Amino acid sequence: MRYTRKLVHLQTPWSIIEQQVIVQFLTPNGKAYSQEESVDWANRIVRAIPQDEFRGYLPDGLAVIFHEQGPWQNFPEAVHMWGYRSR
């Protein structure tokens, strides 16, 4: 997340952010999941949270890559998601 925040702050385009995060963090022979596969993982994690718990975890060896979400209520994503204002 810190690396993504840094690139967002530098106003790096999302297509470049995603490429750089994969190059920086994907392990040898690792797999980058599609958006649909990622949503499936997220749903499995949520369903696996015990009833009295409030947090789920990715299995060892998996990581999260953030993707562009877009504006919200006329705020650019850099502001509403990442806390950065335009220069």
Separation of alpha carbons 45 and 54, rounded Å: 11
Q: Which one has a higher pLDDT value, 75 or 53?
A: 53
Residue 57: which residues within 8 A CB-CB, separation 6 or more? 45
The DSSP secondary structure of 18-86, one letter per residue, reads HHHHHHHHPPTT--PPPHHHHHHHHHHHHHHS-TT-----PPTT----------BTTB-HHHHTT----
Task: Tell me the percentage of the chain whose pLDDT exceeds 70.
Answer: 89
So what's the pLDDT on residue 82? Answer: 65
Out of 41-50, 60-69, 78-87, the most confident range is 41-50
Name the 3-class secondary structure at 4: helix
Residue 49 pLDDT class (50, 70, 90 cuts): very high
In the chain, where the domains are located: 2-80
For the chain, give the mean pLDDT. 82
Tokens coding 42: 């997220």
So what's the pLDDT on residue 81? Answer: 63
